[in-house]
Chain A
Amino acid sequence: MNELIDLALDAADQAGASYADVRISERETESLTVKNGALQAADSNRSAGFGVRVLVDGAWGFAASSLLEPGEVTRATREALAIARASGLARRDPVALDDTPPVTASYRTPVEEDPFAVSLDEKLAILMDADAAMGAVPGVSVREGTVEAARERKTFASSAGARIEQELTESGAGIEATAVNASEAQVRSYPNSAGGQHVTGGFEAVRAMRLPAHAQRIAEEAVQLLDAEACPSGQMTIVIDSSQLALQVHESCGHPIELDRVLGMEASFAGTSFLTLDKLGRLQYGSPIVGIDADATAPGGLGTFGFDDEGVPAQNVPIVSNGVFVGYLTSRETAPIVGRSSMGSARASGWNVIPLIRMTNVNLRPGEAGTLDDLIADTSDGLFLSTNRSWSIDDRRLNFQFGTQVGWRIRHGRLAEMIRNPTYTGITPEFWGSCDAICGPDEWHLWGIPNCGKGEPMQTHRVGHGAAPARFRNVRVGVGRW
């Protein structure tokens, strides 16, 4: 491997590249899906390759290939150099990188139980037990459960002298029950929608989910939703559970703090950001109790690693403090524009693509509102909303609309009737400004989102968000005439 790295870096240097880096990685995944009592899918995937990134006359070029052979490394490096020269045909200011020092280091995800070493039989038994519990509930039409594992081994080397080895291990699982009638298709998931919960770590995380123990409950709730009350329309107090709030943080904070978006580098695809440079340190993003950090060091987070894909160490940086917007997610190219060094959030989803600014674990700090029960008890009238079902937000990340799988009416400090098809909408700073209570550390969960899309060619990446349930006042719910 060192031979291939040296080959690329030497070729880039000899061709006049002012900077070059090489990433060689292999990612393996394993997935089991049980659907309606049968093993529907069992697969194992491996993808390996390398990517060479070069800076020539201040312009970028990148080429990647799955052929890990000296001749192909030479060819791809030449291609990256040619592409960089073509980039120079439409260049403005030359790209300048920050002063992050090169390091030689290694990192490995702490793993108690290797998810690839757990037998297929054992994984299957967990899913089958959960499936049977869901299947015992009359009225459930579709049951599905998945267990997944992933491991990426990657080497990063740069012309500045960095050499970093990392091994990242991920585990995830989830179950889902669907019930349908003539007009509705209602779904309940555990521990979360969109494939469940995902972490960096071992199979111990899947065991801790206790999927079978929650299967009957979600199946019953899916059936109950068919005849539940429709979501009321109007302005209401809402309490949002931690998993939905994690996605709220993702869409309304995580994306707009990406500095490449702010600088217009994603304008043609994902959009821009309302958190423009003049807002840094000035904008009251939320109420004074709102604090948000980007923490790539959080144990178990899906956005946790040792070093980003530019060789920058993982860090924990404040994003919102006392409600004030104070920080961006940055890369080595963009951080100097705000007078800083990279905080280490340039991540590539694989060997075949360039690192982009991606979320790490963008976490809402826990508050002082106690437990969820305490918060409900403190709420005289409102809605409690749980588990994401749909999401949409505008290109500057201001106007959002979310749907959740289920809601409950809160009356006189207690959960009352179940609510079907709940939706809520708002404008980001107004919404976070209306946050008047956040539950404490005991209710705080770090959720993994394995399907965050960004960039062209689009990269689907894995990020994390910690959140405790929180309360928001005067939010518009029940959107639309349907």
Chain B
Amino acid sequence: MESALAQLPVDGEALYLGRDAALTRFAGSRIHQNVSEHDATLRVRAVDGDRSGVASTNRLDAEGIAEVVARAADICRRAAPNPQPTPLSAGDAGGVSSEVGFVAATAATDPERRAEGARAVIAAADAARLEASGAFSTEAVIMAVANSNGLRSRHVFTQAKLLTVMTGEDRASGYAQATSPDVGEIDAPGLGAEAADKAQRSVGAGDLEPGEYDVILEEYAVQTILEYLSLGGFSALAVEEGRSFMELGRQVMGPNVSIWDDGNDPTGLPSATDFEGVAKRRVELVTDGVATGVVHDTATARRAGVASTGHGLPAPNTFGPLAWNLFMAPGSSSKDAMLGSIDRGVWVTRFHYVNIVHPRRAVLTGMTKDGTFLIEGGRIVRPVRNLRFTEAIPEAFTRIEAISSGTRLLAAEYTGINARVPALRIGRFSFTGATAAESDG
């Protein structure tokens, strides 16, 4: 990075991303894909007043670095001016050299250790006469940023994640997932037991008429909802452009809802800096139901006249800032207590293929998956086929009637957003459709 900055004829920023990752994947109770990857990329942003250019390479010898610097400088020279250029982060915005969230054992995990985890899950499936599929991944990442304002930031971290879907005859399906910086925290037999139990209880799932039901959303489902609230609404750019549900200062959810982003909380998956090298700050997004903040990168921060909160993505970034270390405040209830309080409702383990239907109102749609149950008289009475929900989430979050005291740390399937969340009981949640019976296919 120092070499790149020294060779740049103008101001600039260098972002280094090094990653060693491995993943053992299993399906049909056997390992069917098993991979590892080493990659390191240098991304250079050349800045000359109101002009800029970005180039990247993963060839990191002297020739490769000289080439990427020349390419970034050339784009910068030929680029049209931008009246509102993305500034380089201030020199004192970083200064971070962090290893919070780095666990050496995770970085050193070998394929035998991952296979052992897979076999533990498969054993739980075998004992329950189910088929196990899933993935056990480990990775170590170095992210470093330097710029010509003198900023220097470096963060080394690890992540381990194990998930499984167990299936069986007559629509049996169960799920479990855990993620942690520490591979030692991944309880493969426990996850196997959780998924197997859920799958066994979902045998024979039957029809349920779509409509409004009181629901218990397990932590998996809540994590997905927060993920899409972040993608659609927690960004300063989304608010600036009028496409977010967040109206700062207004009550947007119920008074029992508080959501924040904190990249430094060790109970999450820490990320001490963003891709612009700015040290992460905790941002209160929703406090007692009131929209209290959004996350910024250097571009949105400059326009808003505030400091970046450390949520910038790699340059050049037209998506805007992103909150990816989310937390939702726990309550005082438990899933058992929630269950006992519902006369008729639906238990949702997780959601699948969620998407934003209407960003301004944060209307989401998606399917339930891997364990959906009808609740009657305070207990689960039978499994039901997967249901489609279509719901304006901020409105639904005004109807949260109970929040669990326990939380789980979970990682998103697609986006890299992670969240520590409780389970929720929500009144009159709207299911707008149901999946077809097997015979329909």
Contact = CB atoms under 8 A, between A and B. Distances in A.
Partners in one complex: yes
Interface of A: 33, 35, 38-49, 59-67, 76, 79-80, 82-92, 120-121, 124, 128, 141-142, 144, 178, 180, 183-185, 263-269, 271, 274-276, 279, 283, 352-354, 389-396, 398-399, 401, 403, 421, 423, 425, 427-430, 453, 455-458, 479-482
Interface centre among A59, A92, A398 (most CB of B within 10 A): A398
A33 B80 CA distance: 11
Leading 9 A-B pairs by shortest Cβ distance = A41-B316, A274-B441, A180-B242, A480-B390, A86-B111, A43-B54, A185-B243, A268-B133, A267-B133
Nearest to B26: A90
Interface centre among B110, B116, B357 (most CB of A within 10 A): B357
Interface in B1-60: 21-41, 52-59
Interface stretch (B180-188, B263-271, B347-355): B347-355
A96 B68 CA distance: 43
B158 to A, nearest CB: 16
Interface string B406-419: 00000001100000
Interface centre among A83, A121, A353, A403 (most CB of B within 10 A): A83
Contact of B441 (A44, A90, A396, A482): A396
Given A276-B441, A394-B352, A42 B390 contact: no
Nearest to B440: A427
A42 B316 contact: yes
B367 A480 contact: no
A144 B438 CA distance: 44
A266 B27 contact: yes
B366 interface: yes
Given A45-B55, A120-B78, A399-B436, A180 B243 contact: yes
Given A64-B35, A66-B58, A398-B436, A458 B367 contact: no
Contact of B59 (A46, A180, A184, A390): A46
Contacts of B75: 42-44, 120
A235 B115 CA distance: 51
B201 interface: no
B335 interface: no
Contacts of A46: 55-59, 68
A479 B35 contact: no
B358 A457 contact: no
Contact of B316 (A33, A403, A429): A33
The binding surface of chain B is classed by DSSP as: strand
Interface stretch (B91-99, B148-156, B161-169): B161-169
B31 A178 contact: no
Given A39-B82, A398-B435, A401-B357, 15 more contacts: A38-B82, A39-B80, A45-B56, A61-B111, A62-B34, A62-B36, A86-B31, A89-B116, A92-B30, A128-B80, A142-B241, A263-B28, A480-B391, A482-B390, A482-B392
Contact of B360 (A33, A185, A391, A453): A185
Interface in B175-223: none
Contacts of B242: 141, 180, 185
B305 interface: no
Nearest to B136: A456
A337 to B, nearest CB: 12
B386 interface: yes
Contact of B243 (A83, A178, A423): A178
Nearest to A62: B35
Contacts of A271: 352-353
17 contacts: A38-B81, A38-B84, A44-B54, A44-B55, A62-B34, A66-B58, A85-B111, A86-B24, A89-B112, A185-B243, A265-B133, A267-B167, A268-B133, A396-B435, A403-B357, A456-B135, A482-B363
Contact of B388 (A60, A389, A401): A401
A84 to B, nearest CB: 7
B114 interface: yes
A460 to B, nearest CB: 10
Nearest to A267: B133
B281 to A, nearest CB: 25
A398 B413 contact: no
Nearest to A120: B78
B1 to A, nearest CB: 17
Nearest to A75: B38
Interface stretch (B251-259, B285-293, B374-382, B426-434): B426-434
Contact of A456 (B25, B430, B441): B25
Interface of B: 21-41, 52-59, 68, 71-72, 75-76, 78-84, 110-112, 114-116, 118-119, 122, 131, 133-135, 137, 163-165, 167, 241-243, 315-318, 352-361, 363, 365-367, 369, 386, 388, 390-392, 413-414, 430, 432-436, 438, 440-441
A353 B359 CA distance: 33
A13 B308 CA distance: 54
A120 B79 contact: yes
Nearest to B367: A394
Contacts of B318: 33, 35, 40-41, 144
Contact of B36 (A79, A283, A428, A458): A79
Contact of B31 (A59, A479, A482): A59
Contacts of B434: 399
B35 A354 contact: yes
Contact of A66 (B23, B39, B114, B165): B39
B432 A425 contact: yes
Interface centre among A48, A89, A275 (most CB of B within 10 A): A89
B32 to A, nearest CB: 6
Contacts of B355: 390-392
B441 A275 contact: yes
B34 A84 contact: yes
Contacts of B35: 62-64, 83, 353-354, 457
B38 A64 contact: yes
Nearest to A95: B32
B38 A66 contact: yes
B27 A268 contact: yes
Given A46-B57, A429-B441, A392 B436 contact: no
Nearest to B58: A66
